[in-house]
Amino acid sequence: MHTNYNSNPLDAKTYDTDRLRAEFLTEELFKNDEITLVYSHIDRVVAMGVSPVERTLKLNDFVDTKAFGVEFFLQRRELGVVNLGGAATVKTAAQEYTLNHLDALYLGLGEQDVEFTSLNAAEPAALYCLSAPAHHTYPSRTILREQARHVELGSSENANARTITQYLHPDVLPTCQLCLGVTHLKPGSVWNTMPAHTHERRMEAYLYFNVAPQQVVFHFMGEPQETRHIVVRDKQLVLSPSWSIHSGCGTQNYSFVWGMLGENQTFDDMDFVDMNTIR
């Protein structure tokens, strides 16, 4: 497990490219037959790349529970899962769930003995997970792609026509604080979340995918008047603290999983940045 520490914006604006990438980017989250964990002090978020190919991956085998001060990983946490690959099963001590491509799963506080298996090794699953501290047990359940909330935003004129698919969202199911969804840019569109915003009461994580070979996404971050960028490739993760904008522009259309946690789940609780002031 890699531990990521929070950063002061006064310090972050002095970082060079290597330091920016080291502090905010995870380049290799998915490794065959492994579970890769990133623990961040930014709101105590945990991101995981789960890549079962030839064998079942048991979460207990990859988590040092002493590092979390608990007896099992979800003793004090909730977990969201979205499947970016082939069909998979996620099994707990209580139930087994099947996730096809772009289906999602919510596991509530207290779930134990979590296992991940690909149904076909020739088309393995790629399960992206995001976990937040939790204070209450809400029911675990799958959210199939067609059951999610779909929102159309943007326009082709502004190169940001996109579909936002909300899986873990107050209008879909209750969670303690974790929100998660997927945004798909339409062909010919490359911008997401611009005009930019920050939200002081929530952090956000972006997992970019559907980034074609030889294509990249420029992820813009930093304070609105001290912007920086990170070049991102397929299935790479960027952690965004509350003081930072989080916006991307690709050399071709792409998709990304967004996840949020913090003090509230109010989606319009944002501090929008005037395009005349961003620098």
Nearest to 147 by CA among 108, 185, 103: 103
Has 184 been labeled as part of a binding site? no
Has 229 been labeled as part of a binding site? no
Determine if residue 176 is left, alpha or beta; phi over 0 gives left, psi from -120 to 50 gives alpha, anything else beta: alpha
Give the Cα separation of 64 and 109 in Å (integer).
18
AA letter at 123: E
Has 152 been labeled as part of a binding site? no
What's the distance, Cα to Cα, between the start and end of the chain in Å?
35
AA letter at 237: L
Lookup: tokens for 127: 């399960």
Has 204 been labeled as part of a binding site? yes
Give the Cα separation of 77 and 70 in Å (integer).
10
What DSSP element (H or E) covers 87?
Answer: none
DSSP string, 193-253: S-S-EE-TTEEEEEEEE---TT--EEEEEEETTEEEEEEE-TTEEEEE-TTS--EEEESS-
Give the Cα separation of 129 and 47 in Å (integer).
6
Looking at the chain, list the stretches that DSSP marks H as alpha helix, in order from N- to C-terminal side. Answer: 9-12, 17-24, 59-62, 65-68
Binding residues: 197, 199, 204, 246
Binding residues for Zn(2+): 197, 199, 204, 246
